[in-house]
Structure 1
Amino acid sequence: MGWLIITEKHNTARRIASILFNDVKQLKKYGVSYYHSPSSNAYVVGLKGHIVELDFPKEYNSWKNVPLRSLLRAELVKEVKEKGIARLLKELAREVDRVTVATDYDREGELIGFEALEIVKQVNPDVKVDRAKYSAITPADIKKAFSNPSKVDINLAKAAETRQRIDLIWGAVLTRLISISSGRMGRDFLSVGRVQSPTLRLIVEREKEIENFRPTPYWEIVAEFCNGECFTAKHVERFTDVAKAKAAFKKIGNTAAVRTFEKKERKEARPTPFNTTEFLREASKFMSPDRAMNVAETLYMNGYISYPRTDNTIYPPTLNLKAIATSFLNSDFEKEAKIVLSQPSIKPSRGKKESKDHPPIYPTAVAKKGELSKEEWTIYELVVRRFLATLAPEAIWEVKRVEIDANGELFRATGRRLLSPGWRAIYIYSKAEEVSIPDLTVGQILRIKNKELLEKETKPPGRYTTGNLIRIMEKLGLGTKSTRHEIIKKLYSRKYVYGNPLRPTQTAFAVIEALKSNAETITLPDMTSKLEKDMDAIAEGKLSDEEVVEESVRFLDEILSNIDVKELSKSLREGVKKDKVVGKCPECGRELVIRKTKGKKRFIGCSGYPACSFTLPLPQNGTLYITAKECEKHSIKKIKIRTKKGYWDLGCPYCNYLEWKAKQDKA
Structure 2
Amino acid sequence: MHIIIAEKNIAARRIASILAPKKPKKNRLSGVDIYEFDKDEKTIVMGLSGHIVKVDFPSQYNSWQKIDAKELVDAEIVTVPTHNKIVSALKGLAKKGKKVTIATDYDREGELIGVEALNILKKTNSNLEFERVRYSAITPKEINDAFSSPVDIDFSLADAGHSRQVIDLVWGASLTRYLSIVSGRLGNMFLSVGRVQSPTLAIIVDREKEREAFVPKPYWEINAHLHDTNKDKFVASHSKGRIWNKKEAEAIIDNVKSTDFSIVKEIKKSQKIDKPPIPFNTTELISAASSIGFTASNAMRIAETLYTNGYISYPRTDNTVYPSSIDFREQLNVFSNGVFKKYADELLKKKQLIPTKGKKETTDHPPIYPASYAKKSELNEQEWKMYELVVRRFFATFADSAIWETMKVKLDLNNEPFKSNGARLIDSGWRWYYPYNAPEDRLLPPLKENDKLMVEKVEMIDKETNPPGRYGQGRLIRLMEELGLGTKATRHDIISKLYSRTYVHGSPLIPTKTAYAVIETLEKYAPTITKPDMTSKLEEDMDKIAEGLLTEEKVIDESRKMLNTIFLELENNQDKIAESLRTGLREDKIVGQCPDCESNLLIRRSKRGSRFIGCDNYPDCNFSLPLPKSGQLVVTNKTCENHNLNHLRILSKGRRPWNLGCPQCNFIEWKKEKNNSHNVTQVKVNVSDDITKIKGVGKITAQKLDEVGINNMNDLLKADAFEVSKKTNISLKKIKDWQDIASVAINN
Instruction: Please report the TM-score for the alignment, with normalisation by the length of structure 1.
Output: 0.96
Distance, in Å, in 2 between the alignment partners of 1:89 and 1:312 is 34
Distance, in Å, in 1 between the alignment partners of 2:184 and 2:342 is 61
Partners of 2:335 and 2:341 within 8 A in 1: yes
Distance, in Å, in 2 between the alignment partners of 1:647 and 1:114 is 39
> What is aligned with 2:536?
529
Bigger drift between 625-634 and 471-480 goes to 625-634
Q: Does 1:660 align with 2:665?
A: no
1:497-508 matches, within 5 Å, as 497-508=504-515
- Aligned-pair CA distance for 1:52: 1.4
> What is aligned with 2:708?
none
- Aligned-pair CA distance for 1:343: 3.3
Q: Does 1:61 align with 2:62?
A: yes
- Aligned-pair CA distance for 1:596: 2.9
> What is aligned with 1:606?
615
> What is aligned with 1:416?
423
Q: Deviations over 1:156-180 (max 9, x none)?
A: 1111111111111110111011111
SS at match of 1:94: helix
Distance, in Å, in 1 between the alignment partners of 2:83 and 2:676 is 59
Partners of 2:605 and 2:612 within 8 A in 1: yes
Distance, in Å, in 2 between the alignment partners of 1:598 and 1:366 is 60
Residue identity opposite 2:627 in structure 1: L
> What is aligned with 2:345?
338
Partners of 1:339 and 1:422 within 8 A in 2: no
> What is aligned with 1:173?
174
> What is aligned with 1:247?
251
> What is aligned with 2:327?
320
SS at match of 2:666: helix
Are the structure 2 counterparts of residues 601 and 331 from structure 1 closer, same or farther at C-alpha, using a change threshold of 3 Å? Answer: farther
Bigger drift between 192-201 and 382-391 goes to 382-391
Distance, in Å, in 1 between the alignment partners of 2:226 and 2:440 is 21
Distance, in Å, in 2 between the alignment partners of 1:259 and 1:127 is 84
Q: Deviations over 1:121-169 (max 9, x none)?
A: 2122232221100000001000000001111111111111111111111
Distance, in Å, in 1 between the alignment partners of 2:497 and 2:665 is 33
Q: Does 1:651 align with 2:661?
A: yes
1:286-325 matches, within 5 Å, as 286-325=293-332
Distance, in Å, in 1 between the alignment partners of 2:306 and 2:247 is 62
Residue identity opposite 1:128 in structure 2: E
SS at match of 1:470: helix
Distance, in Å, in 1 between the alignment partners of 2:661 and 2:605 is 20
Distance, in Å, in 2 between the alignment partners of 1:375 and 1:244 is 53
Are the structure 2 counterparts of residues 599 and 325 from structure 1 closer, same or farther at C-alpha, using a change threshold of 3 Å? Answer: farther
Partners of 1:606 and 1:613 within 8 A in 2: yes
- Aligned-pair CA distance for 1:256: 4.3
Q: Does 1:587 align with 2:593?
A: no
Q: Does 1:74 align with 2:84?
A: no
Distance, in Å, in 2 between the alignment partners of 1:345 and 1:447 is 52
Bigger drift between 175-184 and 593-602 goes to 593-602
Distance, in Å, in 1 between the alignment partners of 2:113 and 2:50 is 6
SS at match of 1:562: helix
Are the structure 2 counterparts of residues 262 and 661 from structure 1 closer, same or farther at C-alpha, using a change threshold of 3 Å? Answer: same
Q: Does 1:559 align with 2:559?
A: no
Q: Percent identity?
A: 50
- Aligned-pair CA distance for 1:31: 1.3
SS at match of 2:502: coil
- Aligned-pair CA distance for 1:501: 0.9
- Aligned-pair CA distance for 1:447: 4.4
Distance, in Å, in 1 between the alignment partners of 2:191 and 2:676 is 45
> What is aligned with 1:369?
376
Q: Deviations over 1:264-302 (max 9, x none)?
A: 232211121111011111222322211221111111111
Are the structure 2 counterparts of residues 341 and 598 from structure 1 closer, same or farther at C-alpha, using a change threshold of 3 Å? Answer: farther
1:370-389 matches, within 5 Å, as 370-389=377-396
Distance, in Å, in 2 between the alignment partners of 1:608 and 1:600 is 20
Q: Does 1:108 align with 2:109?
A: yes
- Aligned-pair CA distance for 1:457: 0.6
Residue identity opposite 1:288 in structure 2: T
Bigger drift between 112-121 and 251-260 goes to 251-260
> What is aligned with 2:284?
278
> What is aligned with 1:25?
25
- Aligned-pair CA distance for 1:635: 2.5
2:625 to 594, 616, 627: 616
1:482 to 489, 503, 517: 489
Distance, in Å, in 2 between the alignment partners of 1:208 and 1:455 is 26
Distance, in Å, in 1 between the alignment partners of 2:420 and 2:651 is 45
1:349-498 matches, within 5 Å, as 349-498=356-505
> What is aligned with 2:729?
none
Residue identity opposite 1:244 in structure 2: E
Distance, in Å, in 1 between the alignment partners of 2:651 and 2:658 is 7
1:181-260 matches, within 5 Å, as 181-228=182-229, 229-237=232-240, 238-252=242-256, 253-260=259-266
Partners of 1:107 and 1:156 within 8 A in 2: yes
- Aligned-pair CA distance for 1:555: 1.2
Q: Does 1:635 align with 2:644?
A: yes
1:568-587 matches, within 5 Å, as 568-587=577-596
Bigger drift between 617-626 and 493-502 goes to 617-626
Q: Deviations over 1:444-491 (max 9, x none)?
A: 554444322222111111111111111111111111100000000000
Distance, in Å, in 2 between the alignment partners of 1:363 and 1:380 is 8
Distance, in Å, in 2 between the alignment partners of 1:619 and 1:594 is 11
- Aligned-pair CA distance for 1:78: 0.9
Q: Deviations over 1:178-233 (max 9, x none)?
A: 11111111111111001100110111111112222221100112223444344322
Residue identity opposite 1:264 in structure 2: S
- Aligned-pair CA distance for 1:323: 1.9
Partners of 1:343 and 1:393 within 8 A in 2: no
Residue identity opposite 2:195 in structure 1: R
Instruction: Please report the TM-score for the alignment, with normalisation by the length of structure 2.
Output: 0.86
Residue identity opposite 2:239 in structure 1: V
Partners of 1:52 and 1:115 within 8 A in 2: yes
Bigger drift between 33-42 and 453-462 goes to 33-42
- Aligned-pair CA distance for 1:614: 2.6
Partners of 1:167 and 1:193 within 8 A in 2: yes
SS at match of 1:348: coil
- Aligned-pair CA distance for 1:665: 11
* Unmatched tracts of structure 2, length 5 or more: 678-748
Are the structure 2 counterparts of residues 608 and 445 from structure 1 closer, same or farther at C-alpha, using a change threshold of 3 Å? Answer: closer
Bigger drift between 501-510 and 336-345 goes to 336-345
Larger relative contact order (CA 8 Å, sep ≥ 6): 1
Are the structure 2 counterparts of residues 405 and 542 from structure 1 closer, same or farther at C-alpha, using a change threshold of 3 Å? Answer: farther
Partners of 2:20 and 2:38 within 8 A in 1: no
Partners of 1:305 and 1:380 within 8 A in 2: yes
Q: Deviations over 1:25-83 (max 9, x none)?
A: 11112111112224421111111111111111111111122122221111201112222
Distance, in Å, in 2 between the alignment partners of 1:145 and 1:410 is 67
* Unmatched tracts of structure 1, length 5 or more: none
SS at match of 2:657: strand
Partners of 2:74 and 2:560 within 8 A in 1: yes
Bigger drift between 549-558 and 437-446 goes to 437-446
Q: Deviations over 1:399-426 (max 9, x none)?
A: 1122334454332222111112222122
Distance, in Å, in 2 between the alignment partners of 1:659 and 1:36 is 62
- Aligned-pair CA distance for 1:666: 14
Q: Does 1:13 align with 2:12?
A: yes
Alignment RMSD (CA, Å): 2.0
Distance, in Å, in 2 between the alignment partners of 1:304 and 1:190 is 40
Partners of 1:339 and 1:392 within 8 A in 2: no
Partners of 2:504 and 2:511 within 8 A in 1: yes
Distance, in Å, in 2 between the alignment partners of 1:121 and 1:206 is 51
> What is aligned with 2:143?
142
SS at match of 1:360: coil
- Aligned-pair CA distance for 1:599: 4.6
